[in-house]
Amino acid sequence: MPTSLVAKLASIIDHAVLAPLATTGDLECACIKAREYSIASVCVKPWMVAGAATLLRGSGVVASTVIGFPQGGMHPRIKLAESAQALADGAGELDMVANLGWVAGGDWTKVFDEVHAIAKLCHRNKAKLKVILETCLLTEEQKRKLCEVAAEAGTDFVKTSTGYSTAGYTRDDLLLMRASVPTHVGIKASGGVRTLGQAMILMEAGINRIGTGSTWAILEEAKKAKRFEP
């Protein structure tokens, strides 16, 4: 029996609960809906991880969180400690912002070492790491090199954006990222995914994850669509 459009989309969506004023009530509502739709993960602020892990336990939906958010400039030991705390609280995936100053300055050994340390920590805990590029701030060469370094350092995904800078994902950035990492490294599009049409284009292009705060509107619209329905 064919898989429904709703299920296909839900399986690649990380629902973001990252707004500055997001509350415990927002988290609870998001986790209830996440269980209903069986989305990939609920991506929350670090202080929410333990609550998300509890609310999602047994559902198959992963509790995920952000590290070094949103500019990536924390001391690497702080980012490593933040990662360790998130994993201890029950996070199964970490979305870490790369140190953009190091990227801009070409300090690639430092970029590698930071990503490698957090990737090793994740993998010891059977968790996954996504490295956020913040593509709107980088040159094509910086984006390409960061993807290559992150992949070599062991990341599981490269991700376009935090959603809190000057712009989000673009088609050209996604193509560049896919060409810059091995096939086993996933691509996550985020920043500006708000409609079913956008999500469909990304899914059909083979993007592995979509980050959005518009999950429920997208999936409700998908319920009305006919493609992929049994």
Instruction: Check which CATH number belongs to the domain holding 186 and give it.
Output: 3.20.20.70
Question: What is the pLDDT at residue 89?
Answer: 98
- Burial status of residue 130 (CB atoms within 10 A of its CB: 0-12, 13-18, 19 or more): buried
Q: Is residue 229 in a domain?
A: no
Question: What is the pLDDT at residue 225?
Answer: 82
Task: Read off the DSSP letter of residue 126.
Answer: T
Q: Is residue 204 in a domain?
A: yes
Q: Is residue 39 in a domain?
A: yes
113 counts as catalytic: no
Q: Is residue 196 in a domain?
A: yes
Q: Are strands 209-212 and 186-190 parallel, antiparallel or unpaired?
A: parallel
Q: pLDDT tens digits, the chain, 230 residues: what are they? A: 346 999 999 999 999 999 999 999 999 999 999 999 999 999 999 999 999 999 999 999 999 999 999 999 999 999 999 999 999 999 999 999 999 999 999 999 999 999 999 999 999 999 999 999 999 999 999 999 999 999 999 999 999 999 999 999 999 999 999 999 999 999 999 999 999 999 999 999 999 999 999 999 999 999 988 554 44
Q: Is residue 230 in a domain?
A: no
Instruction: Provide the residue range defining the domain that includes 186.
Output: 5-223
Q: CA 166, 171, 176, 182: dihedral to nearest 10 degrees? A: 110
Q: Name the catalytic one among 14, 89, 95, 173.
A: 95
Site of tokens 């459009």: 5
- In whole angstroms, how far apart are CA 136 and each of 61, 90, 225? 30, 31, 32
Q: Name the catalytic one among 79, 130, 159, 173.
A: 159
- What's the total number of domains in the chain? 1
How many other CB atoms sit within 10 Å of the CB of residue 140?
A: 12
Q: Is residue 182 in a domain?
A: yes
188 counts as catalytic: yes
End-to-end distance of the chain based on CA atoms, in angstroms?
6
How many other CB atoms sit within 10 Å of the CB of residue 188?
A: 26
DSSP code per residue over 59-75: SSPEEEEEESTTT--S-
Question: What is the pLDDT at residue 227?
Answer: 54
The C-alpha atoms of residue 217 and residue 123 are separated, in whole angstroms, by 33
145 counts as catalytic: no
Contacts of 210 (CB under 8 A, 6+ apart): 9, 12, 13, 14, 188, 189, 190, 193, 199, 202, 203
Contact 222, 5 (CB under 8 A): yes
Q: Name the catalytic one among 79, 128, 143, 188.
A: 188
Q: Is residue 201 in a domain?
A: yes
Containing 15, the helix (H) or strand (E) segment is strand 13-17
Q: Is residue 228 in a domain?
A: no
